Copies of this chain bind each other. A is one copy, B any other.
Amino acid sequence: MSNSKKVAPISGFPEYLPADRIVEQSIVDVIREVFELHGFSSIQTRSVEPIDRLSAQGEDTDKEIYVLSRLAGGAEQGMPRLGLHFDMTVPFARYVVENAGKLNFPFRRYQIQQAWRGERPQEGRYREFTQADIDVIDVDTLPAAYEAEIPLVIADIFDRLPVGEYVIQVNNRKIPEGFYRGIGLDASVGVIEALRIVDKLDKVGPDAVRDMLIGAGATDEQAGACLALAEIRAPDLSFVDRVRALGVTHPVLDEGLAALSAVIAAGMAGAPGRMVADLRIARGLDYYTGTVYETQLVGYESWGSFCSGGRYDALAADNRHTYPGVGISIGVSRLVGLLVGKGLVRASRSTPSVVLIALANDNVVARLASAAVAKALRQRGIACEVAPTAAKFGKQIRYAERRGIPYVWFPGGTAAGAGESSGDEVKDIRSGEQVPADPASWQPPADDLRPSVVRSSGAGSGTGGESGAEK
């Protein structure tokens, strides 16, 4: 096993030290807990799909796919050519079709897994990353109420995460679609192309979008109307009147306004202050057909969306049915990349242990005594470890200190090493306070029981946040 080859990080494949990994775990734990509280079932799909399935998913994805081959060479008989999935959506669609006869519809599932894209890493974009997805999928038709439910799940999660202020931006694809049809843009630029152009608004600004629309065949007036629509943003139902004031009518626009109103109204009731109607949100992917979502952290807008998704009429189809659904995906790696990378959040210690059991002697009796204390504590859910050697107690305390373990337990008390065993004692090494303790009943304060993950002091919302970083 020994080797002295050069070791180095690989760009786009982030790894964390134990304390930062605790932050990542705690985020995933919160996400999973809330997904389950909302009645989503876990599934885990294989990491690979046949290449022809992966590369069938739109124009831009081919170059991102990692293909597998065996180092020894040679395809195995009967095995398709495989690649790593680049999202959860393609494998989930396949899973639904494959297991349609065994699943209960509407099917509420969550999936927290890694995905891979062979593209150049950037801030918040990685080659290997973790996503946490929920979808509700049904057969042939899907109740509209789910489009209002999905962002409430996300608000429930983000309210529990140390992310500061955030905003869930919601739109309905039927609004721009109906609007573009209403002004006749479908005959020139085309609806999908216009959506694509307006979607670049954040990146390139209104002037460039206007130029692109005109370049694609829009009139000056049409381009102006598109931009006026995209500027509408409201935390309540006032967006409807503002759209109406633009004087455009189309039945698809009416449908979209009614649907978005229902989602925003549910948000005002269930997650007040968390959702806004934002009519510029389109999502790049062209399979969304109704509500679409993006989520920004206030002050970190340049990182892009931390949670996106929408409604689609056909996630998948087989010979007999289509499977419409609505879903959303939390970019776990991007979230951790921001919170840990910028030092906005930190864990209170680098180990689950809340107690170090000191070792008074290196003999068998002392070892068994320390092991018995550890066992008694663990049976009551208290994470602990026994000191590696019977070093001087000062050194054993430093072992705890370096790891952030708050308590050191002395079987027989601190005088035990000198042969004077009395009762057990436990020391809070932060305060120095040392008290008698019984392994069958001693309980650490609830705040100490598990490592806590806290917003660093000074990490407010917004760009001032980094000042409190401890990295």
Contact = CB atoms under 8 A, between A and B. Distances in A.
Contact of A42 (B25, B52, B383): B25
Nearest to A368: B269
Nearest to A375: B270
Interface string A234-274: 00000000000000000000000000000001100110000
Contacts of A145: 367, 386, 388
A351 B39 contact: yes
Given A40-B352, A314-B2, A67 B65 contact: no
Interface stretch (A194-202, A315-323, A462-470): A315-323
A75 to B, nearest CB: 10
A175 B264 CA distance: 72
Interface string A169-192: 000000000000000000000000
A104 interface: yes
Nearest to A354: B39
B41 A350 contact: yes
Contacts of A76: 118, 120
Contacts of A67: 68-71
Interface of A is mostly: mixed
Interface in A106-153: 106, 108-109, 114, 116, 118, 120, 128, 138, 143, 145-146, 149, 152
A381 interface: yes
A82 to B, nearest CB: 7
A106 B386 CA distance: 12
A51 interface: yes
Nearest to A71: B65
A97 to B, nearest CB: 5
A13 B48 contact: yes
Contacts of A99: 17
Contact of A156 (B103, B317, B319, B378): B378
A42 B70 contact: no
Contact of A18 (B41, B353, B368, B402): B41
Contacts of A25: 42
Interface string A44-60: 11111011110111000
A53 B351 contact: no
Contacts of A114: 47
Given A63-B71, A145-B388, A89 B10 contact: no
Contacts of A120: 76
A24 interface: yes
A303 interface: no
B72 A63 contact: yes
Interface in A14-28: 14-18, 21-22, 24-25
A9 interface: yes
Interface string A387-400: 01100000000010
Chain A's interface size range is 35 or more
A8 B48 CA distance: 12
A15 B95 contact: yes
A314 B322 CA distance: 56
Contact of A48 (B82, B128, B152, B382): B128
A9 B424 CA distance: 57
A344 interface: no
A358 to B, nearest CB: 14
Contact of A317 (B3, B103, B108, B385): B3
In this complex, the member of A70, A71, A95, A381 whose beta carbon has the largest number of chain B beta carbons within 10 angstroms is A71
B42 A22 contact: yes
Contact of A44 (B24, B68, B383): B24
A71 B452 CA distance: 42
Contacts of A79: 10-11
A283 to B, nearest CB: 13
A458 interface: no
17 contacts: A1-B312, A1-B316, A4-B317, A5-B52, A10-B50, A11-B79, A15-B95, A22-B41, A36-B383, A39-B351, A48-B128, A51-B71, A62-B72, A65-B71, A67-B68, A71-B118, A104-B402
Given A3-B56, A104-B403, 17 more contacts: A1-B57, A2-B317, A3-B317, A4-B318, A10-B82, A16-B44, A17-B102, A25-B42, A38-B384, A39-B353, A39-B384, A47-B128, A62-B71, A64-B72, A108-B351, A145-B367, A270-B371
Cβ-closest 5 pairs across A and B: A39-B385, A63-B72, A39-B353, A36-B352, A13-B46
